[in-house]
Amino acid sequence: MSQSTTLPLRFWSRLPLWQQILIGLTLGVATGIAFEQDALILAPVGALFLNAIKMLIVPLVFVSLVAGITSMQDSAKLGRISVKTIAIYLVTTAFAVSIGLLFGTLFTPGEGMHMVASAGSEAKQAPSLVQILVGLVPSNPVTAFAEGNILQIIVFAIALGVSLNLVGAKAAPAIKLFDSLAEAFYKLTDLIMRCAPYGVFALIAGVVGSHGAEVLLPLAGVIGVIYLASLAHVLLVYGGLLGGLARLSPLRFFQGIAPALAVAFSTSSSAGTLPVSIECARKNLGVSEGVAGFVLPVGATINMDGTAIYQGVLALFIAQAFGVDLSGGQYLMIILTATLASIGTAGIPGAGLIMLGLVLTSVGLPLEGVALIAGIDRILDMARTTVNVAGDLMTTTLVGHSENELDREVYNSANKE
């Protein structure tokens, strides 16, 4: 190849991965707009990338969590980390719904739509707390692995890790094995992430290409409000907590998590993004394996701030569209149910839309609202998944900082992957 043809290639290969991914994302959007449905020809490339990162979720979560726990001999510490993690997740989610409600009230995206509800919509049943708690312990770990049930895998990994710690000298070979397997999975994540710019490009081109202007325009108002509220939450709440509580630069944080955000945005799955989030937390933010391996998988299953914002805005949007006036009590009910519904939402595409039905029925809003949104839900899902993943990583950073499990030198370094 001549000098002039290799030059762009050399320039490209020298860019840090996060910049390559952002370029892939931008070109993907442009391709989707330019080629519309024809962009779907790229779908197999996207699916291949998606499969490759999904392939990692179950083994990576399991092995890295066991390795993380065995590196943390102090069991009181594990208890402390759990309490902090859950507390931060709950508080930020309540903030998220409130921000959603605030933006929905300020911008009234549903005003003037004059929709009429038909009677007799079916209500959805939420699982009870007891059912959720009993379901945490897998009766058969192999089934939990096969079904990819992350919460059950977490419980099993913690139980095994704690037991290995208690066994002492005899467990040393097993601990070493988990350690070395974890390294292998980190390496595999690293290799798969080298393909992320192309995978993200193909995925986003397909999504944008299949959503033409005629689908998006009538609901442009509500899309804009959700994106705006999401941005406000990420910048104000996450930026504020990192800067205010931990004295950590929000800029370095966002730079470090850019690959995870781009993958979240293009896949609409926080569970699918998990391997990338773990990689960003360890390599770019300097969070220890133990904290990242615990806080992130828990977050990918229960912490959904983006979904909570979406439910807050949409509850108001639907109330406005159908001309329903909400009372103060109903606002509180929305905060409560949207927080719970977001915890119950699975980290997969479209899960938040199903849970929206729960929030609507809790305050007697018409379920037709779900149908109204369904056509544009993927575009909203991209925003909420990105916020969901950012929230998991912010919490991981705060917990890592408070436990002295964050390497500030790595965090502050300008050279991110």
Binding site for ligand ASP (CB under 6 A): 268-270, 304, 307, 345, 347-352, 381, 384-385, 388
With respect to ligand ASP, which residue has the nearer C-beta, 242 or 274?
274
**CB of residue 226 to ligand ASP, shortest distance in Å:** 11
Taking phi first (over 0 means left), then psi (-120 to 50 degrees means alpha), and beta for anything else, what does residue 367 get? alpha
Measured N-to-C along each axis, helices 270-279 and 43-70 cross at an angle, to the nearest 10 degrees, of 60
Residue placing its CB nearer to ligand ASP in the complex, 279 or 381: 381
Q: How far is the CB of 198 from ligand ASP (least distance, A)?
A: 22
Which of 77, 378 has the CB closer to ligand ASP? 378
Residue 239 or 391: the one with the smaller Cβ distance to ligand ASP is 391
Contact (CB, 8 A) for 284 and 412: no
Rounded to the nearest whole angstrom, what is the least distance from the CB of residue 176 to ligand ASP in the complex?
34
CB 338 within 8 Å of CB 315? yes
Cα distance from N-terminal residue to C-terminal residue, the chain: 28
Nearer to ligand ASP (CB atom), residue 307 or residue 320: 307
Residue type, position 184, single letter: A
Q: How far apart are CA 224 and CA 90, in angstroms?
A: 26
Shortest distance (Å) from residue 348 CB to ligand ASP? 6
Among residues 189 and 269, whose Cβ is nearest to ligand ASP?
Answer: 269
Go through the chain and tell me how many residues it has: 417
Closest distance of CB 370 from ligand ASP, Å: 13
Residue from 267, 265, 201 nearest 50 by CA: 267
Question: Smallest Cα–Cα separation from 17: which of 245, 198, 206?
Answer: 198
Q: Shortest approach of ligand ASP to residue 303 CB, angstroms?
A: 9
Q: Toward ligand ASP, which CB reaches closer, 152 or 268? A: 268
Question: 410 to each of 14, 21, 69, 417, how far by Cα in Å?
Answer: 20, 21, 22, 11
Listed residue (393, 362, 408) closest to 258, CA to CA: 393
Distance CA 235, CA 250 (A): 8
Minimal distance in Å, beta carbon 103 to ligand ASP? 17
Nearest to 236 by CA among 416, 62, 92, 57: 92
Smaller CB distance to ligand ASP: residue 175 or 340? 340
Q: Shortest distance, CB of residue 279 to ligand ASP, whole angstroms?
A: 18
d(CA 100, CA 109): 12
